[in-house]
Structures are given as structure tokens and as C-alpha cells.
Amino acid sequence: MTNNGNNFSHHQEGAGRVRARRLLLCLDGVPHEVIRAAKGRGLFDAFGAPSKLLSPFPTMTNVALSCMLDASAPLGYESLYFDKQARELRGGARKYIGRRTPDKIPSSYMDRLDYQEPLAFEFLVYVAPETVWRADMQRFRERFRAAPQDRDYFAFLKGTDGLLHIRGRHRLDAALESLDKILTEIHDWCGDETEIVLFSDHGMNLEENRRVHLQTHLLRYGYSVTDYLGKRARHSVAVPAFGLCGYAALYCGSEEDAPALADVLVALEGVDFAVHLEGTEAAVIVKGESGAARISRRVDEPDKLYRYEQLTGDPLQLAPVVRTLTEENLLDRNGFATDDAWYARTAGHIYPDALANIYDSLHAPRVGHTADVLVSLKDGYYYGSSLFSRFVRLAATHGNALCASTNAFLMSTRRTFPAHVRAHDARPYLLG
């Protein structure tokens, strides 16, 4: 959806007057570690060191970009989603057919884009990633050169995600070399009057993945897997299966089913943890192979406080952090510490920003129809469409809460950013 540069005029604060014009370029699915290695090889030398931009769980494009740009939440985690009011699956592959009409725009962040690939390419990028990437890159270059030079320009290149999913890191590295040449040309052409901000929406685990047999597992435990949930349909579950990703979203026929369903899911090979709400309290329960824990939140002006309680184990591997907070006298008598204290000690964790990120996955409106149970799979596993998985060898994927998928990147030709930036704190760095 092209806006010819007009949509930025009321969002930016004086490009060309109080700050340089800005080229924002989002590379779908490029992990921090890949861009850091590329800089180590001498690419992107006009840019500062890349920061880790922490993508929200589930680490999916529309969830991440709507959060980073403070835009409207998408209806679901993917194009195929469960509508909790209609109590049925909606959307799917037809979203990629025809023109990009308003019903095919998942979030208002897309209204900000000056360039993105044609709608059909959103699917074809996973069929012919090299062809789509080359065409996409050249089209972006031509559109940017033809755009007004006194306005910010925002482009989103999706081909990088397809290259990593289907071809793996080697092919992406080659594509980044081509992109470096284009950005060097743009930088030389525009000069310092244009700041280039390069970032990604989420990372990727860079290993070959295999499918988890989620539906078979649920059937074995007596659950009915369906596209429609009647009122209070006990032991019935809807599980949208679309992209081949490292998470799963489950919707229960009855609210009371969520805790028992999470218990069942933990026994499935490939599941890292399952998370569900705890009643009506401001808490979530995280269940994994190593036990269960509770994340609670309390809001005391001016601070948000979090508590991590190990109920039967330590599924998020946070016991060392709790000990550190205790030794530093940062826990109150009820075991709560400030959000800042937790963030300072978990931004670089195996589960980055674990408490706020996982708590908000069910309590914040990241999508219009929040799952009853969210599953984060281990690196090396995915869930999704069985049809798609029959003809795709998945060389990498994303979606889970682990660091490889969570650690996107953010870097600039003019500014240095903090070492870690939360997704919901990114907007001022991108659009301010």
C-alpha cells in the first residue's frame, strides 16, 4: 500500500528542519546475530552497532510491528485466526488473493508504509524466495529514488523472511551483501541529510525444524479439535494452523479448560512452555518440563512491579535472577520488584524481558482475539499448516519466546541506540 510519502507528514516532527530526513527500512525476520556478523564482515559500515530490538511473544510480524509503531492490533496472530465472538476460524489464504483491500490490512501500521511488496508476493516469497527478494529489492530502490526528497520514507522488505525460512542463513548472507551495496549507493546519493534506520520485526532460530504433532496429541488426550466452538463446548479446542512457526495459539470451548489443556500440552515433544491466565487475577501461569511458575503484576504508582513464583519448578530459568534481586534488596516483602529491575537483569536472558513479555502476551491487547493458551515451542520445532509443510523444508523459523526469535535488531547511520530496546519503546526511535 503506497502512500506517496503523504502519511508521514503528520507523524514526523519536522524532517529537514529539526532533524534529518529519515529512511526507515524494516527487514522481515533478520536476527540480531546475523546483522552483527554481517557488520563483522565489513557490511553496513556506515551504521552504528546494532541494538537488540526485543520482539513481543509470539514473535510474529503483525504482532511485532503493530507494537513497535503503536498501531492497531491485528485480529489474530496470523491471517488464519480464531474469532472469539463468532467462535470460529476466519481468514486464511484468501487474504493473499487479489488487491490489497482494507479487509486485507491487518494493522494500521501498514498505512505508514511507502513501500511493501505486492500482495501476491507475501505468499510467493515462501515459494520462490530468491526471485521475490531480487525483484523486491530493486523495486524498493527505484521507488525510493523517485520519492519526494523532503519527506521520510518507510519501506518493508519481506523477502528476507522467506530466504531464511526456506533457504537458510547462507542465502540471506548473500542477499545482505546486495542490500549493503544499495544502501551504500543511497547513502552516497542522499548524504548526511538523510538518516537510514535499519531494523527487523523479529529474529529467527537458525536450525532445521520439524513439526510438532499437536492435533494428534490433543486427540489422544480426549480433546476435539474443531474450526467452530459451540457455547461451553467442554474439551473442544480450536487451533489455527497457518504459517510454519514456533508457537501455537489455542482457544478453549470452555474457559475452565485452559489450565488442564496447558498441563496436557507440556507432555508433547517440542513444547517449551504453555501459558494461561490464572482466573481473574492479574497473573499468568507458565508450565514447562521443569515445572510451573506464576507471573504476577501489581501497579503501584509510579511503578509496575512483577513477581516470579516457582510453584513446582523454574520453567523460565529465572531462579538466579530472583537470587540476585534478593541479594540486592530489590524484592519487597511480597516478592515483587520493579519492572526496571527485572528488565535490567533479563533483557539479555534466554527468554528476553521474560516477565513483562510473557505476562503481556495474555494481558495486553497484542491481537484482537487473544488465545486462551499460548505455546512457545523449543528451537527446532514448528506448528502450522500440514499442507504447507508437505512441500517445504523449513530451514529456520520464529514465533517462540526464546532469544533467537525475540532478538530483532535496530541500527542507524546517525544515532546510537540503547543495547536493548523493547518493542513498545521503539516508536520514538523510529518515528519521533
Q: Angle between the 129-146 and 169-190 helix axes, to the nearest 10 degrees?
A: 10
Mean of the per-residue pLDDT values of the chain: 90
338 and 411 co-located in one domain: no
pLDDT, residue 162, reads 87
- Per the domain annotation, does 92 fall within a domain? no
280 and 372 co-located in one domain: yes
261 and 277 co-located in one domain: yes
Give the CA angle between residues 409, 410, 411 to the nearest 5°: 130
179 and 230 co-located in one domain: no
Determine the structural domain holding residue 190 and report its residue range.
7-72+107-207+400-431
Write the CB contacts of 106 (distance below 8 Å, at least 6 apart in sequence): 62, 66, 74, 75, 79
CA 277, CA 195: separation in Å to the nearest integer? 43
The CATH number linked to 126 is 3.40.720.10
- Per the domain annotation, does 24 fall within a domain? yes
pLDDT, residue 294, reads 97
Matching residue, cell 539479555: 348
pLDDT, residue 386, reads 76
pLDDT in tens, 257-287: 999 999 999 999 999 999 999 977 789 999 9
171 and 292 co-located in one domain: no
pLDDT in tens, 326-380: 999 999 999 999 999 999 999 999 999 999 999 999 999 999 999 999 999 999 9
How many Cβ atoms are within 10 Å of 191's Cβ, its own excluded?
8
- Per the domain annotation, does 91 fall within a domain? no
pLDDT, residue 234, reads 78
Please list the rounded mean pLDDT of every run of 10 residues in the chain (432 residues): 35 58 96 98 97 98 97 95 94 60 74 83 69 87 93 94 89 94 95 94 94 96 92 85 95 91 97 92 94 94 93 98 98 96 98 98 96 98 80 87 98 97 97 87
- Per the domain annotation, does 324 fall within a domain? yes
Q: Angle between the 339-346 and 319-327 helix axes, to the nearest 10 degrees?
A: 120
285 and 414 co-located in one domain: no
pLDDT, residue 303, reads 87
116 and 162 co-located in one domain: yes
Give the CA angle between residues 114, 119, 120 to the nearest 5°: 145
Which strands form 271-277's sheet, in the order they lie side by side? 224-225, 236-238, 247-252, 373-377, 271-277, 283-288, 291-300, 303-310, 337-338
18 and 153 co-located in one domain: yes
- Per the domain annotation, does 51 fall within a domain? yes
- Per the domain annotation, does 82 fall within a domain? no
Is the pTM higher than 0.75? yes
Dihedral sign for Cα 58, 61, 64, 66, please. Answer: negative
113 and 172 co-located in one domain: yes
Given a contact cutoff of 8 angstroms between Cβ atoms, the answer to whether 249 and 60 are in contact is no
CA 355, CA 67: separation in Å to the nearest integer? 17
Give the number of domains in the chain. Answer: 2
CA 245, CA 287: separation in Å to the nearest integer? 20
Grid coordinates belonging to 29: 525476520
pLDDT, residue 274, reads 98
Determine the distance from the C-alpha atom of residue 20 to the mean position of all C-alpha atoms in its chain, rounded to a whole number: 29
299 and 242 co-located in one domain: yes
Paired residues of 422 in beta bridges: 54
